[in-house]
Amino acid sequence: MKTTVAIEIDTDRLRDLTDTHLAELWHIAQANPVDIEDRDAGELVEEIGREIIRRFLMNTTPELWAHQGRHHFWNNLTKHCIWSDTANAWVPKAQKEEE
């Protein structure tokens, strides 16, 4: 027995769908058996994917400290220097090795 199931996807209403339904549509659109060059199939997947990304980013706390202005200086300092308890200061790595 063979069964064909037709699913209508209204891309103008993607924002109204539940997360579960949207995920189902993503899988359905990816499983579409048309040729990889089918423009409509590609655009459908892209629209669904963008809605998924929009929701993910909307509900995801942004990384606030991944890059900071002082990182460049700190990385250069630790590359070339090491903290010396004896001197109570940063000293060149070669000098620390001599102590």
Residue 73 tokens, joined: 């200086």
The total domain count for the chain is: 2
Nearest to 9 by CA among 99, 31, 1: 31
Cα distance between residue 60 and residue 55, in whole Å: 8
User: 54 and 19 in one domain?
Assistant: yes
User: 54 and 16 in one domain?
Assistant: yes
Question: For position 97, what pLDDT does the model report?
Answer: 60
pLDDT digits (tens, 9 = 90+) for 21-80: 999 999 999 999 999 999 999 999 999 999 999 999 998 888 888 888 999 999 999 999
Q: Is residue 4 part of a domain?
A: no
pLDDT at 6 over 80: yes
Q: Residue 37: give the domain boundaries.
A: 11-58
User: 43 and 19 in one domain?
Assistant: yes
Question: For position 61, what pLDDT does the model report?
Answer: 87
Confidence of residue 17 (pLDDT cuts 50, 70, 90): very high
User: 75 and 41 in one domain?
Assistant: no
Q: Is residue 81 part of a domain?
A: yes
User: 53 and 18 in one domain?
Assistant: yes
User: 72 and 52 in one domain?
Assistant: no
| CA distances in angstroms from 10 to 44, 56, 84, listed in the order given | 10, 20, 66
User: 47 and 16 in one domain?
Assistant: yes
Q: Is residue 93 part of a domain?
A: yes
Q: Is residue 2 part of a domain?
A: no
Question: For position 18, what pLDDT does the model report?
Answer: 97
Phi, psi of 58 (to 5 degrees): -65, -35
User: 54 and 15 in one domain?
Assistant: yes
Residue 81 DSSP class: E
pLDDT at 96 over 70: no
